[in-house]
Structure 1
Amino acid sequence: MAILSCAVYSIWSVAEVRRIDRYLLVQLLTVFAFFSLVLISVYWVNRAARLFDAIVGDGQSFWVFLELSALTLPNVIRVVLPLSAFAAAVYVAMRMTRDNELVVLQGTGLSYARMLRSVAIFGLVVALMLAFLMHVLMPLSRMQLAERQVQIAENISTRLLRAGEFLQPADGVVVFLREITPEGKLVDVFLSDSRTTGTRVEYSASSALLVPGGQGPALVMLDGVALIYRDGPDRLGTLSFDELTFDVGGLVGPAGRRADVRELPTNLLLSPDSDEMAALGITLPEIRFELASRFAQPLLAVMTSMIGFVAICLGQFSRLGVWRQVLGAIIVLALVQLAGNAASGFALRNAALAWLAFVPVGLGGGVVAGMLWWASRSRGTGWTARARAGGAA
C-alpha cells in the first residue's frame, strides 16, 4: 500500500511539474511576443525615419523607401530578440515574485535550477528564431539590400535629371537644368564644381546628354563655357568648348563595392572556394568567424533569458533589491558583449581563433551558474532533498 501511494504521488508530482513548465513557458512566450512587437516597432521606426530622410531626400520614390526599410527589418529583429528575451524573463520573474508564485513553487519542492529549465526551453525557442534569421533571412536581406543600394547609387539620373531645381548631388557640386526634353536632352545646363580647395569651376552649356560609361555615367556638355576661379593673382580663367565630358559617376561613389561576408549563405561558408573568396576580397578568418557567430549568437539568447530570471531570484526578498539585481544583470550583459567584441578582433586576424565567437556564450553560462549557486546557497533551497527531488522530476 505504501508503494502504491508513493507511485501515485510520483505520477501526480510529474504531472504537476509538467503543468508548471507549461505555465512558465506560456507566460514567458506571451510577454516575449509583446516586448518584441514594441521594441521592433520602436527600433524600426527610428531606423526608417533616418532612411526616409536619406532616400526620399535623395530623389527616390516612396516605394524604394518601403523596399529598403523592409530589407532592414531582419537585422532589426536580430538585435531586438535577445533583448526581448531578457526583458520577458525579468518581467515574468518579477510578477511571480510579487504574486508570491515563486514562494509557492519553492514550497512544492522546486529549486531555482529546476524552475530555470522552463526558462532554458524558452531561450531555446528564441534561439531557433535567431538561427533562422542568422542562417537564412539575414544573408538574403543583406545581399538584396546591398544590390539595391548599388543600383540606386548608380542611378545618377534620379539625382541630376530634375528640371528647374538647384541640386547638390555631392559636397561642392551644384547642378541646375532648365528643361529636359522627351528624348532625354538636357537644355541650359549649369554645373558648379568646388571640390578642389582654392579652385571653383563653373560650367555653362546650351545642352547636354547623360551617357553611360565604363566607370559610371558621364555628362557630355555641348556648346558652352567654363569659368575657372583660383586663389591668386590670375583669379579668373575662361574656356570655351564645343564638347566637354564631366565624370558624374564619381559623385555617387564607385560603381563596384567590396563584398560583405555577412551576405554569403551558410552553405558557402561551410565549404568556401579560396579563389572565389579572394576575388571577393574576403579572408579566411572572416569566413570562419562569421560561420561561428551564426551558431553562437542564437545561443546567447538562452543566456540572456536565464540571467534575467536568476537575477530576480537573487533579490526577491527585498523590495529595493530587485531593481539593483536587474541593473547588475544589465551591466553583466554589457560586459559580456564587450568581451565578445574584444575577442572578435583576435578572431578576425587568425582563422584558428574562430571559436572566440562563443566567448559571450561561455561567459554567460558561467554567470548563470554563479548566480544560481549564490541564489540557492543564500535561500537554502538548492541543497535540500526535496529540491533535489523536484530537480530530478
Structure 2
Amino acid sequence: MSKFDRYMLSQFLTLFSFFALVLVAIFWINRAVILFDRLIGDGQTALVFLEFTVLGLPRLITTVLPIATFAGAAYVINRMTSESELTVLQATGTGPWRLARPVFAYGICVALMMSVLTHVLVPMTKAELNQREAEISQNVTARLLTEGTFLHPTSKVTFYTRLIGNDGVLRDVFLSDRRNPDEGVIYTAAEAYLVRNGNGTTLIMVDGLAQRLQVEGKQLATAKFRDFSFDISALVSNSTDESQSIDSMVTFDLLKNWDDLAAKTGQTHGDIAEEVNARFADPLFCIIAAMIGYATLIMGGFSRFGVWREIVIAFGLLIAIDGFSSTLVETVRQDASRWPVLYVPSLVGAMLVLAMIWQTAHPGWTKRLRAPKVAP
C-alpha cells in the first residue's frame, strides 16, 4: 500500500470512528431512556441497567456501522474535493479507478468489523441477554417486593406495598387486576405473604377488601375477607425458556444440520437461511456504502458550490438499496432455497458503483457516440 493510500485510509477510519461514536451515542440515549424506565420501574438496580446496556451495544453498533461508513467516505471525499487535493491528484494522472483503491480497503476494514459483530459478538450477547432476562423474570422479589412504589408486573396489573417487614410480611398491600376487559378488581389488605407453591407463586392477603367493578352496567361489588390467595404465577415467569433462538447462536453452530436445528429451535429452514446469509450480506453492504459515497461524489467533479447535491443523491441511493434488501427478507423466510436474493442489493450497488466510476473515467463517451461520423 502506497503512502497516499495509507493517508486516505487513515482519514477514512478517523472520520468513521467519529461518526460511529456520535451515532451510537444518539441511538443509545434514545434506547437507554426506555430501558432505564422499565428496569428501574421493576425494582432493578443501576448495575442491572448498565449490564443490559452493555449487552445491547453490539446489536446497536451493527445498526449504525453502514451509516457511519457512508458518512466517513462522503465527508473525506468532500473535504479533499473542496481543498483541491483530488483535483491535484487527477491533474497528475491519477484516475478514478486508482483513487477507489483506498476507499475499497476502507470498506473491507469496516466489513471485517461488522463480520466479527454479526458472526460472534451479537449472538453471544443476545444469548447472555436472554439468560439475564429469564433470571430477572424469575426473581419475584425484584418484580414485586419494592416498598413504597407502584409497580407494574404487566401492563394490566398494578401492585403496591407500603412496608416490607424483616420477617418478609408485606404491610398495607394494594393490587389492581385489569386483565379481564369485562371487569376490574382491586384488592387491599393489611398484610400479605408470598408463598412458593411448586412451580407457582401465590400471594396470600389477610384482612382485606375486594372491590369488583363490572364494566357493563357500572356495578360495583365489595367483599371483605380474612384471608385470600391470589395466584401471581401468570405475572412472573418462573421457568427459563429452554429453546434457543437462532439469533443467539454463533454462525458456526448455524451451519450444522438444519433439520436438527429447526427441531431444536422451533424455527423453519427459511428463518435459518435468512439469519445465516444476512450475517454475510451485512458486511458486504458496508463495502457498498463506502463505495457509493466515493463514486457519487467523484462523478460530480469539482464545484465552487460544493458537492451537496451529490451527497444527497448518494444518501438516497443508500436508503433505496437498504430498503430493497428489507423487502427480500420475507421471501427467503418462505423458501430457504431463495437465499441468494439477499445478496442482490449488494450486487446492484456494486453495479451502480462500477457504472459511476466508469462514467467518471470516460466523461466524453456520450458526446462521441452522438458526434456525426466524417466520411473518409
- Please say whether Structure 1 and Structure 2 have the same fold, judged by a TM-score greater than 0.5: yes
- Of residues 82-91 and 180-189 in structure 1, the stretch that sits farther from structure 2 once superposed is 180-189
- Give the 3-state SS of the residue equivalent to 1:250 in structure 2: coil
TM-score (norm 1): 0.84
Change (3 A) 1:172 1:83: closer
Could you tell me which residue of structure 2 aligns to residue 170 of structure 1? 154
Unpaired segments ≥5 residues, structure 1: 1-16, 381-393
The alignment status of 1:130 with 2:114, answered yes or no, reads: yes
Q: Which residue of 1 aligns with 2:189?
A: 205
Alignment equivalent of 1:286, drawn from 265, 271, 296: 271
Match for residue 326 of structure 2? 341
Unaligned runs of 5+ in 2: 366-376
| Residue deviations 1:322-375 (CA, integer Å, cap 9, x gap) | 111111111111110111011111001111012222122112111111211222
Q: How does 1:261-276 map to 2 (within 5 A)?
A: 261-272=246-257, 274-276=259-261
> Which residue identity is paired with 2:316?
I
Give the match for residue 38 of structure 2.
54
Q: Work out whether 1:362 is the aligned partner of 2:347.
A: yes
* Whole-Å separation in 2 of the counterparts to 1:175 and 1:18: 67
Mapped to 2, the partners of 1:61 and 1:102 lie a distance apart of 54
Q: Match of 1:271, SS? A: coil
Match of 1:218 among 202, 210, 215: 202
* Identity value in percent: 38
Q: Rate the CA distance shift 1:91–1:167 in 2: closer, same or farther, 3 A.
A: closer
Using a 3 Å threshold, how does the CA distance of structure 1 residues 216 and 80 change in structure 2: closer, same or farther? farther
Q: Do residues 66 (structure 1) and 17 (structure 2) align? A: no
Deviation (angstroms), 1:236? 4.2
Deviation at 1:217, TM superposition (A): 3.1
Cα offset for 1:262? 1.3
1: CA distance, partners of 2:174 / 2:100: 70
Which has the higher mean CA deviation after the structures are superposed, 25-34 or 114-123?
25-34
Give secondary structure in 2 for the equivalent of 1:212.
Answer: strand
Q: CA deviation at 1:87?
A: 1.1
Aligned to 2:20: 36
How far 1:86 sits from its partner (Å)? 0.9
Alignment of 1:289-328 (within 5 A): 289-320=274-305, 322-328=307-313
Deviates more, 1:36-45 or 1:92-101: 36-45
Q: Provide the TM-score with structure 2 as the length reference.
A: 0.88
Query: In the alignment, does 2:22 pair up with 1:27?
Result: no
Question: Judging changes above 3 Å, is the alpha-carbon distance between structure 1 residues 187 and 268 closer, same or farther for their aligned structure 2 residues?
Answer: same
Partner SS, residue 189 of structure 1: strand
Paired with 1:233 and 1:126, the residues of 2 have a C-alpha distance of 64
Aligned residues: 364
Establish whether residue 193 from structure 1 lines up as the match of residue 180 from structure 2: no
Deviation at 1:259, TM superposition (A): 4.3
- 1:379: Cα distance to partner? 6.7
After superposition, give the CA deviation of every residue in 1:210-256 in whole Å (9 maximum; x if it has no partner): 23356653323345443333256793445555553323233356855
Q: SS where residue 378 of structure 1 aligns?
A: coil
Say which of 65, 69, 74 aligns to 1:85: 69
Return the offset for 1:321. 6.2
